[in-house]
Amino acid sequence: MITLQKIAKSFIGEEIETVAIDEMDLSINKGEFLSILGPSGCGKSTLLNVLGMLDTVNSGEFHFLGQNVSTLAESQRAKLRKQHLGFIFQNFNLIDELSVEQNIELPLYYQKVAKAERKKRVDAVLERVDISHRRHHLPAKLSGGQQQRVAIARAIITEPDLILADEPTGNLDSNNSGQVMALLQQLNREGATIVMVTHAPEHIGFGTRAIELLDGKIVSDRRIGEALKEVSCG
């Protein structure tokens, strides 16, 4: 589904250049649930932003579903993003003034899906994340775990090919974290491809593969259940 070839991304400040991703190679297959770990500043968010087509690279190639994203204009990337990607954020990013069901329905509005179809899909996805009983509430009336389940419903309602999650449990207590991780694992078992940045090593067991970054490079890559495989950084 995704191939990164010698991807490099740096940020130029007033005096110094910070290398956030250093000539990285990475392939992600359909059906994987990949966790990205590593210390603060190692490039996790930058990598997720590149995969989410929110940021461009300085060099290297990025292929997504057979298309060379590196050569696309912003408008073409936005179209791919809207059609194929779902995003889940640490702070949920729900719209405070909209109810649970209106938040979830929003991406379908943007895709100009007809009203009856929107209702059908919202009903199904509310059921799926077990939040139907809160459908008319505003986000502020929900617990953090419930808000993240709404955000997951919003991410999956367009049936994206890839779900990108940036520390989805970062603002949750351990009980709510467990519920959110179990939901992501279930979605993956039903076929969703997920890439998740996490600071919680205990959560990689919900996924199928984990990579660890250091200074913009992949230093380990393992299938979950397999022994740790160190990657030579040459």
Ligand X SMILES: Nc1ncnc2c1ncn2[C@@H]1O[C@H](COP(=O)(O)OP(=O)(O)OP(=O)(O)O)[C@@H](O)[C@H]1O
- Interaction of residue 41 with ligand X, rule CB under 6 A: yes
Tokens 């009203």, located at residue: 115
- DSSP string for 54-101: SS--SEEEEEETTEEGGG--HHHHHHHHHHHEEEE-TT----TTS-HH
Stretch that binds ligand X, among 41-49, 90-98, 104-112, 221-229 (CB under 6 A): 41-49
* Residue of 43, 107, 139, 145 interacting with ligand X (CB under 6 A): 43
Please name which of 169, 168, 164, 222 lies closest in space to residue 194, comparing C-alpha atoms.
Answer: 164
Give min distance, CB of 131 to ligand X, in A.
28
- Interaction of residue 18 with ligand X, rule CB under 6 A: yes
Q: Do 197 and 44 meet the contact criterion of CB atoms below 8 Å apart?
A: yes
Rounded CA-CA distance 111/158 in Å is: 9
Which token pair is 163? 């779900």
- Interaction of residue 29 with ligand X, rule CB under 6 A: no
- Interaction of residue 152 with ligand X, rule CB under 6 A: no
* Residue of 5, 8, 23, 45 interacting with ligand X (CB under 6 A): 45
Nearer to ligand X, 42 or 104 (CB): 42
- Interaction of residue 56 with ligand X, rule CB under 6 A: no
Q: Give me the residues that bind ligand X (CB under 6 A), please.
A: 11, 18, 20, 38, 40-46
